[in-house]
Chain A
């Protein structure tokens, strides 16, 4: 346990500079974006209201309210998120491959630590997961800050939703995955993310163990794992037979997710102990 925590801390340390860069980019771009998007709206509003001599309520009726959703539809908001997602997906691979490549072959040290090699696996997974959650937490805090900025620039009568819960309830796009509507959904969605991380890690270890053959095995493992995980939904959709109620599908998915996590851990443990090669 102690080694696991130390290793986790160590992995976070190693990524922390890049992580701070991701945070800085997100904060800067989104805040600049908030100011620009809100100002654009207000400039347009005053121009149109002036040209067409409209009153506020007529303008709103014809051209729509302003809300944080306007910002969320813009690249200013979406861009940094996509960048962070891409960064973290890249890091999921990098967190392993960096230890093999380069002249300092750190993987020797990691595998020779007098602790279960699975701790290295868990530490890397935890580090990635914590950093994902950290970025989500940052994004949530940023939303509140952005709302404050919006209210400084846009007069209240132009704003449709003034509270974050209202805005969150109004979200109807892919952001539902990023900001699930209830805490249980948050756990389910980010739990699925964890399954994905474990599956990818296993695929990486397959490649590290069997090299070229391992690439195929890893890809195969990912396909099988996602096939199994999606099977309840796929079977229903393809056959058109919705035999299970949604609640039952959720329970089944949770069970399948646990099975995939367990088999990923088991396989990774086997690979790390018996098949891995430096």
Chain B
């Protein structure tokens, strides 16, 4: 023993120190607070699909809250931690159900389409030569999984005129009558009259024939040019589902401007398009398309809560606004500190954070105060009549707890 004390001591010390260190971390992470819904009224079933994303105030890393669970990124095994907490639950479900199909695929919802028969994914592939800015040889790589036969067909089609584009991004995909619609946003390096600097195109593919049937420009935007405003287009939210909408809405505004100049809606079935005729301040509000009702919903925060303006896409008509009452903010005055130099000690004001998701005809409204430790409320409102189906809160004032919200998904 005497001579071997180092050989015994070192492993012993190593095991004690490292063991205790990880034990303490595991215990500490296990003691992070759990958040449970305190239902004030309505049907708790509606919470099943809700996932809230945020981050703890006194800790680093992300966290998410589901109906039954509070998950901290720091307590996860590192494979899950590396995957992060941001993968959409729908994608997580797809990976669980179709592990091989989902291999190596994008984790963006707009790359997928699913119905009772099919699961379809589309990736835009391209080559990038070294020393070259632009990408070339654009292809649409399609994979189709047939649920009845469990067969996977993959094919790819070349994008016509691909020389004209230097970048193509995918906006959405959908399947209609055996045809796959791929909607893309294409950038051109040298705009011509045939190819404006930015255009939204639809590519129609026949799934059975594995080929491109037709392609068409839906919208085009003139890019940077002295005579034209520098406009950018963005696809309106609502793609939180992989069952796509019949309508696609694109808002157009000038670069670096908040205000939306126009909102163009395209009916993907008929490929007709029209402009939503509403005042600019309504158009500039956040908006979602609901696939079930073919409604467009605009909303804005008001003193009492939230004001939602529905717009019927099939009738092209605005409907009565819906008021959602939210609990009043718990602070009255913006806080600041005394000091000689007001510039240096102005403190960030707590702000109300509202996250709204539309799902199956209901609006899910999550509201809280960031970065304050105030309670977080969830209201589920039926959009057809404004009835509150659920109202509940998370106690966000726990000792050693507290979190900021930044997102919510409805599965």
Contacts and interface: CB of A to CB of B under 8 A. Distances in A.
Report if A and B touch in the complex (beta carbons < 8 A). yes
Contact of B340 (A5, A53, A185): A53
Contacts of A184: 77-78
Given A61-B345, A184-B78, 9 more contacts: A9-B7, A58-B345, A136-B17, A164-B21, A164-B25, A182-B77, A185-B78, A186-B18, A246-B79
A57 interface: yes
Given A165-B29, A181-B78, A244-B103, A16 B58 contact: no
B104 interface: yes
A104 interface: no
B78 A134 contact: no
14 contacts: A8-B7, A52-B344, A53-B338, A61-B337, A62-B344, A133-B10, A134-B13, A163-B28, A181-B78, A243-B104, A244-B104, A245-B99, A246-B82, A247-B79
Nearest to B3: A9
A-B residue pairs, 6 tightest by C-beta: A137-B17, A165-B28, A58-B337, A9-B7, A243-B104, A170-B60
Contacts of B280: none
Contacts of A181: 25, 74, 78, 81
B337 A137 contact: no
A181 to B, nearest CB: 6
Given A52-B344, A62-B345, A12 B7 contact: yes
A171 B103 CA distance: 31
Contacts of A170: 59-60
Interface of B: 3-4, 6-7, 10-11, 13-14, 16-18, 21-22, 24-26, 28-29, 58-61, 74, 77-79, 81-83, 95, 99, 103-104, 337-341, 344-345, 347
Interface in A1-29: 5, 8-9, 12-13, 16
B338 A186 contact: no
A166 B400 CA distance: 11
B104 A242 contact: yes
A130 B78 contact: no
A183 B17 CA distance: 12
A169 B29 contact: yes
Contacts, number: 112
Contact of A58 (B10, B18, B339): B339
A174 interface: no
Interface in A219-278: 241-247, 250
A130 B11 contact: yes
Give chain A's interface secondary structure class: helix
Nearest to A242: B104
Contact of B25 (A133, A134, A165, A245): A165
Give chain B's interface secondary structure class: helix
Interface of A: 5, 8-9, 12-13, 16, 52-55, 57-58, 61-62, 130-131, 133-134, 136-138, 140-141, 161, 163-166, 168-170, 172, 180-186, 241-247, 250
B103 A245 contact: yes
Nearest to A176: B78
Contacts of A244: 103-104
A2 to B, nearest CB: 11
Contacts of A58: 337, 339, 345, 347
A13 B6 contact: yes
Contact of B22 (A186, A247, A250): A186
A137 B7 contact: no
B13 A55 contact: no
A124 to B, nearest CB: 14
A54 B25 contact: no
B8 to A, nearest CB: 9
Among A136, A137, A163, A244, find the residue whose CB has the most chain B CB atoms closer than 10 A.
A137
B222 to A, nearest CB: 32
Contacts of A16: 6
